[in-house]
Chain A
Amino acid sequence: MNIHEYQAKALFEKFGVAVPKGVAVQTAEEFAGALAQLDGAGGYMVKSQIHAGGRGKGTFTDGFKGGVKFSPTKEKAIDNAKAMLGNTLVTAQTGEAGRKVQTIYFTEAANLGKRPDGRDDEYYLAILLDRATSCPVIVASTEGGMEIEHVAHHTPEKIFKVQVDPAVGLQAFQARQIAFALGFSGELFKQCVTLVTKLYQFYWEKDCAMVEVNPLLVTKEGKLLALDAKVSFDDNALFRHPDVVALRDLNEEDAKEIEASKFGLSYIALDGNIACLVNGAGLAMSTMDIIQHFGGSPANFLDVGGGATKDQVTAAFKIILGDANVKGILVNIFGGIMDCNVIATGIIEAVKETGLKLPLVVRLEGNNVEAGKATLAASGLTIVSGDSMADAAQKIVKLVNAK
């Protein structure tokens, strides 16, 4: 689960991680009041809140440029905020459709420190799971303010990693290693050790999937601040963090994916025209692959899990049919333990209930499969049967392309 920058920073503050002072609002009427709470001596930052990166370089659909703007005065900040709120921001990560900005985050503009070479004094810090070792890893770099993938590719020697032993947690010497690696000394060294320690505490206690601070910044006054914050949480651990669940913003999620989750379905929309309905995540992924292999284009990932009951199949069909691009459906069920005849009956009822008119190919395999196929054949519905995954995929691609 992802949260907004302003929510992440509120959590940072709670854990003692320094951030620029800011106020988030959802309506234009609140703009002036929000700005009145901030010290505007150095100007303000006006930041669109969406769950996607690249906001600063993004463009709104009405042509307004920049989802993050420096504004020297209150008046300019309000103008910028008015241009952003309710507008749709397109960034490198949002796709063409973009995201509607429903929250504006005003912060005090930090007074950026400079390095001897004149560059902004920006750093990178992230905490995530290292899958190779199954341990948390802290990633730090002196090259802040740019994409870490870029740094990793061009100057890998500028990336410093510390692996945390989960049995004992982050140790003081490890926080010091990071502060030394980033080149800090004196007061800033102490600030960095504290910040890394607090940030790790937040990552671990709140079951984060990832915490990323880019940039981490040194101000002219010699203060270390998390200028941006990107936080995501482990979905599996949400049950023990109701305070985190409360931060969920459904506006940022696909309505069909939310609907699917209510029925225990795992659904992800793609941009093709052949929908699929499959049991099991691995089989669902490879069903998408085989559609593409035979010249089609998958419209979604949809895993009905181990069950595939009539209610689930009906809900799945409704969700699939909500996508106007869909021109045909492939159902692929390996009914290892489930009775294929029960599944076939469920499919027929779902077709009738949804009034399905699109081509439908069903591939059933497993327990009691002959009875299941007979039930489909006797239904009087135009359901095409596929004998294998390859056969079924070729049939649906042919049917959709023939239209």
Chain B
Amino acid sequence: MSILVKEDTRILVQGITGDFGARHARLSLDYGSQVVAGVTPGKGGQVFEHAGKKVPIFNTVAEAARQTGATVSAIFVPPPFAADAILECFDADLDLAVAITEGIPVRDMVRAKRAMAGRRTRLIGPNCPGLVTPGRGEKSSGGCRIGIAPGYIHKRGNVGVVSRSGTLTYEAVWQLTCRGKGQSTCVGIGGDPVNGTSHLDVIKLFNDDPETEAIIMIGEIGGNAEVEAARWIKAHCKKPVAGFIAGATAPAGRRMGHAGAVIGGAEDTAAAKIKIFQECGISVAATPSDMADALLRIWKG
């Protein structure tokens, strides 16, 4: 097993006709992922073609899901329209909406998150790299790649990875792969202050997933999501967890690239979070080069 998505998960791409969406739809197809539909309002009936594969384009998410059996959406819609795209996934009762878009207004996300309550659809992101369940083919091909992560750095295995950041996730994944340790699923939850799925949500899924044997949790300054997850881990998690917190050198009150990465109070700092990680029995990586090794110090695989 894996969490959230499997090799055969059927994916639709909202914004498949834009440059960004098209590029990553092609890369997902190359990886062997089941991209079965595109959605661009007004372009229904057209076809997205890549390497001999034909992906039909629909006007609405509901229609795309009904016609193709897609259960998950990758959202590459520009920021002013992205919250609307997310809400359309809720309306179509998809299993999962993965919002890659960076720069969505906070107010739009506050409303979208409120609209998610009571719905069956889970939202990952926004402003996230997406998620990957590695495949069993060469360079992990044949897996499910939703979003913008490089597929080939993965390897099928038993470590679950959860992080806000894209490149920092790739760093951790690559370290694992280079040490022969594969991943069950790697989830980027995004760098915005309002997101659909928290560190804790993903940790709980990993804890219940039989294939996941160990977990790497990567966090950063700002908010208390990492602390909430760490306390739950201490009380409930059955699996070894390694962690890293970025932003030890970040000045207070400045937005460090991610809209959510701002030190607001004493609990938001990297030092405070690292201390709580340690108290909760998480093996803390001293540097970002040490993430896989921090896990291997407490888990032999």
Q: Could you tell me which A residues sit within 8 Å of B by CB distance?
A: 129, 131-132, 134-136, 149, 165-167, 204, 207, 209, 234-237, 239-240, 266, 268, 270, 278-293, 298, 301, 303, 306, 334, 336-337, 365-367, 388-391, 393
Task: Answer whether residue B69 sits at the interface, using C-beta atoms and an 8 A cutoff.
Answer: no
- Return the chain B residue nearest A204 by Cβ: B107
- Return the chain B residue nearest A337 by Cβ: B150
Contact B170 A289 (CB under 8 A): no
- Return the chain B residue nearest A391 by Cβ: B289
Bound Cα distance A289, B219 (Å): 13
Contact B194 A290 (CB under 8 A): no
Contact A285/B259 with A237-B106, A280-B165, A367-B150 known, Cβ cut-off 8 Å: no
Contact A283 B105 (CB under 8 A): no
Distance to closest chain A CB from B187 (angstroms): 14
Q: Which single member of A282, A366, A388 contacts B289 (CB below 8 Å)?
A: A388
Contact A129 B248 (CB under 8 A): no
- Return the chain A residue nearest B103 by Cβ: A236
- Return the chain B residue nearest A168 by Cβ: B114
Contact A166/B114 with A131-B194, A282-B220 known, Cβ cut-off 8 Å: yes
Bound Cα distance A174, B111 (Å): 19
Contact A282/B258 with A336-B170, A337-B27 known, Cβ cut-off 8 Å: yes
Contact A336/B150 with A282-B191, A284-B257 known, Cβ cut-off 8 Å: yes
Contacts of A284 in B (CB 8 A): 256-257
Contacts of B107 in A (CB 8 A): 166, 204, 207, 234, 237
Contacts of A334 in B (CB 8 A): 167, 170-171, 174
Bound Cα distance A343, B132 (Å): 25
* Contact-residue size bin, chain B (C-beta under 8 Å from the other chain): 35 or more
Contacts of A391 in B (CB 8 A): 289
Bound Cα distance A134, B110 (Å): 6
Contact A290/B288 with A131-B193, A284-B257, A285-B250 known, Cβ cut-off 8 Å: yes
The interface bits of chain B over 79-106 (1 if a CB of A lies within 8 angstroms of the residue's CB, else 0) are: 1100000000000000000000001111
Contacts of A388 in B (CB 8 A): 289
Contacts of A131 in B (CB 8 A): 193-194, 222-225, 260
Task: Answer whether residue B211 sits at the interface, using C-beta atoms and an 8 A cutoff.
Answer: no
Contact B105 A237 (CB under 8 A): yes
- Return the chain A residue nearest B260 by Cβ: A131
Contacts of A240 in B (CB 8 A): 80, 105
Bound Cα distance A209, B248 (Å): 24
Q: Which single member of A282, A290, A292 contacts B167 (CB below 8 Å)?
A: A282
Q: List 5 A-B contacts (CB under 8 A).
A: A132-B224, A135-B110, A293-B248, A334-B167, A366-B170
Q: Which single member of B115, B170, B194, B246 contacts A286 (CB below 8 Å)?
A: B246
Contact B244 A286 (CB under 8 A): yes
Contacts of A280 in B (CB 8 A): 165-168, 257
Bound Cα distance A324, B120 (Å): 55
Q: Which single member of A129, A149, A286 contacts B193 (CB below 8 Å)?
A: A129
Contact A282 B250 (CB under 8 A): no
Contact B106 A209 (CB under 8 A): yes
Those 6 A-B pairs whose CB atoms lie nearest each other, nearest first:
A282-B165, A281-B257, A280-B167, A336-B150, A282-B168, A237-B105
Distance to closest chain B CB from A69 (angstroms): 26
Extra contacts, 5 of them, besides A167-B115, A288-B250, A389-B289 (Cβ < 8 A), are: A281-B257, A282-B166, A282-B218, A282-B246, A366-B150
Bound Cα distance A391, B287 (Å): 11
Name the interface residues of B247-261: CB closer than 8 Å to any CB of A.
247-251, 254-261
Contact A336/B167 with A281-B191, A389-B287 known, Cβ cut-off 8 Å: yes
Task: Answer whether residue B113 sits at the interface, using C-beta atoms and an 8 A cutoff.
Answer: yes
Contact B114 A135 (CB under 8 A): yes
Contacts of B254 in A (CB 8 A): 268
Contacts of B105 in A (CB 8 A): 207, 234, 236-237, 240
Bound Cα distance A149, B263 (Å): 14
Task: Answer whether residue B286 sits at the interface, using C-beta atoms and an 8 A cutoff.
Answer: yes
Bound Cα distance A366, B170 (Å): 9
Q: Which single member of B103, B166, B248 contacts A292 (CB below 8 Å)?
A: B248
Contacts of A239 in B (CB 8 A): 79-80
Contact A279 B167 (CB under 8 A): yes
Bound Cα distance A34, B249 (Å): 45
The interface bits of chain B over 105-123 (1 if a CB of A lies within 8 angstroms of the residue's CB, else 0) are: 1111111011100000000
Contacts of B288 in A (CB 8 A): 283, 286-287, 289-290, 389
Contact A290 B247 (CB under 8 A): no
Contact A390/B290 with A166-B111, A236-B106, A268-B254 known, Cβ cut-off 8 Å: yes
Bound Cα distance A303, B165 (Å): 12
Contact A149/B265 with A290-B288, A334-B170 known, Cβ cut-off 8 Å: yes
Bound Cα distance A280, B164 (Å): 11
Bound Cα distance A165, B113 (Å): 11
Distance to closest chain A CB from B213 (angstroms): 25
